[in-house]
Amino acid sequence: MKTGFRMLAAALLAAASIHSYASAETVLRLDEAPVGEIDPAKAADYADSVLMFNLYDTLVIPKQGQPGYDPFLATGWEGDGTSYTFKLRTDVKFQSGNPLTAEDVVFSFDRMKALGQGLSYLFTNVDKAEAIDPATVKFTLKEPYSPFISSLTRLPVIDKKLVLANLGAGDGEMKDWGQTYLSTHAAGSGAYKIVSHNPQEETVMAKNAGYFLGVPAKAPDTVRYRYGLEAATVRTLIAQGEHEISSQWLPPEVLKSLAGEGMQLLSEKGTSEYYIKINTAKPPFDDVECRLAISYAFDYESGIKMVAIDDKVSLGSPSTGALPVGMLGALPVDQTISRNMDKAREHLAKCKYKPDEMNVVLSWIGEVPLEERFALLMQANFSELGIKAEVKKVPWALFTEMVTKPENTPSISQVFVNTMSGDPDTLLYGMYHSNAAGTWMSPEYLKDSQVDALLDKGRTAPDAERAKIYQELNMRLKELAPSIYAQDQTAVFAASKKVSVPALSDPKKAFALSGFGFNFRLMEMNE
């Protein structure tokens, strides 16, 4: 009898164990460079974008596997170039339970404009947004703005009632516009909700059970988005099965090693470029001849070799200018930029500063160790011209603070910039328009009336004319050399086979919007 009881107990224990395993929550762990900004009006870099795409929703989203945009929170729209009217879905609720209405869209737009941070510059041509009725919102533009629909991928819709109930100290009717609250909480309708948030360490998210589209069962139940992990730490964690997807900042040899150990390599390309930024506002690079000298001295070919993972996969490809090859307005592949030391010396001879007079600081972002290699490459390249340069490691948070003033901005810095909305306007306006100077995207502090005019024209011209405008702009930027166009970027991520990410592994399912492939609801956990 005791034996029978023990057998029954063992069977019940085994059944309970099977049930526990079957119902165990899946956890996706991945990392990016800090800081993780969850206020959608301030979101600008890659980590911010991934958070925004999961915590919030937008009126439109990029088509999958092809150019263009589909309605999302909207069911459709009509527009004549200066006004656009959107019909909204009526089945969407915010994570608070409040229904999403046109008033929320208007509030989200007004808030972004009032704060003037993040990607608010995308909406400078928009005069106003107004709620026609609870399910209809109308945007009125000051003038035609060709990238308007694509820009709406960067206007996340916020829960107005929730934010108004949590206003912090500040002046005026809207006080702080909920900035304090939204620095630690989300107020969106997205497929994932905030569990906890530390912008320097980790954001923990969980499925939103009330998501209007539903979240597939195989999508991760919990996501742990970690910040600033060292490459060696990420490598160890992935090898031990304690981390599923690396950031795009792992050195190529680490990616190669992980691939050799059976990890998959995910990729995202066509939307980003690696820019070596030159501070044009102070000596010696306030002189265009000095900028052209170092642009020709840079060893582009060696830079490409430094980021190769194997014969088929690389983190970079040759650049033709300010826009990645294949993007609207990009220069053709037969205009690939290459090193030319004879031209470098010709321009240096015309520079008003002598090499031994130059005080050059080559900065690199501490969270992106690959940049140190490029800094050392530049140091060696420039030394051939007699230019001595100091290589300096700068944490990302400090760098973003330094570049707010030209006198504090390093002579040369390095950033990877993506199109934000998939349109060349989003990539170039925030870098080179004189009104946009002083952000991490624009440490050049370029002031050129022709560049400004072309950027403004590119925003208002008909689609049929825009490619020619951006090609002309591209040529002008190459003449001015505010940046070294080092290479077009391919973001490569090492991933455990426990997770499937079709948007980053199948070109037919890719999105032409950087970071959008990290919609966690579109991923599947295999274990």
113 & 130 share domain: yes
| Distance separating alpha carbons of residues 281 and 412, to the nearest angstrom | 12
Task: Provide, rounded to the nearest whole percent, the portion of the chain with pLDDT above 90.
Answer: 84
Residues 292 and 165 in one domain: no
Together in a domain, 276 and 169: no
Q: Residue 266: helix, strand or coil by DSSP?
A: strand
Q: What is the CATH number of the domain that holds 416?
A: 3.10.105.10
345 and 463 in one domain?
A: yes
d(CA 378, CA 389): 9
Q: What is the span of the domain harbouring residue 438? A: 268-490
Contacts 24+ apart (CB under 8 A), 382-386: 382/294, 382/297, 384/297, 384/341, 385/293, 385/294, 385/297, 385/344, 385/345, 385/348, 385/355, 386/355, 386/356
Of the candidates 190, 182, 193, 262, which has an alpha carbon nearest to the alpha carbon of residue 222?
193
504 and 483 in a single domain? The answer is no
Handedness of CA 162, 165, 169, 171 (dihedral sign): positive
In a domain, 51, yes or no: yes
109 domain residue, yes or no: yes
User: What total number of domains does the chain contain?
Assistant: 2
Instruction: Give domain status of residue 241, yes or no.
Output: no
How many DSSP H helices and E strands does the chain contain? 17, 18
Q: Using CB atoms within 10 Å of the CB of residue 23, give its burial: 0 to 12 exposed, 13 to 18 middle, 19+ buried.
A: exposed
Is 140 found in the same domain as 53?
yes
304 contact partners, CB below 8 Å, separation of at least 6: 314, 316, 317, 318, 487
Tell me the average pLDDT across 120-141: 95
What is the residue-averaged pLDDT of the chain? 93
Asked if the structure places residue 257 within a domain, the reply is no
CATH code, domain with 82: 3.40.190.10
pLDDT mean over 412-436: 91
pLDDT per position as a tens digit, 209-241:
999 999 999 999 999 999 999 999 999 999 999
On whether residue 12 sits in a domain, the answer given is no
Do residue 42 and residue 89 come from a single domain?
Answer: yes
pLDDT (tens digit per residue) in 396-408:
999 999 999 999 9
Q: Which two tokens stand for residue 285?
A: 């690079």
Peptide bond into 325 cis (omega under 30): no
Kindly state whether residues 150 and 33 are assigned to the same domain.
yes
Same domain, yes or no: 447 and 328: yes
Q: Taking residues 385-395, report their average pLDDT.
A: 97
Could you write out the DSSP letters of every residue in 284-339? TTTSHHHHHHHHHHS-HHHHHHHTB-SSS-BSEE---SSS-TTSTTPPPGGG----
Residues 440-494 have pLDDT tens digits of 999 999 999 999 999 999 998 988 899 999 999 999 999 999 999 999 999 999 9
Q: pTM to 2 decimals?
A: 0.82
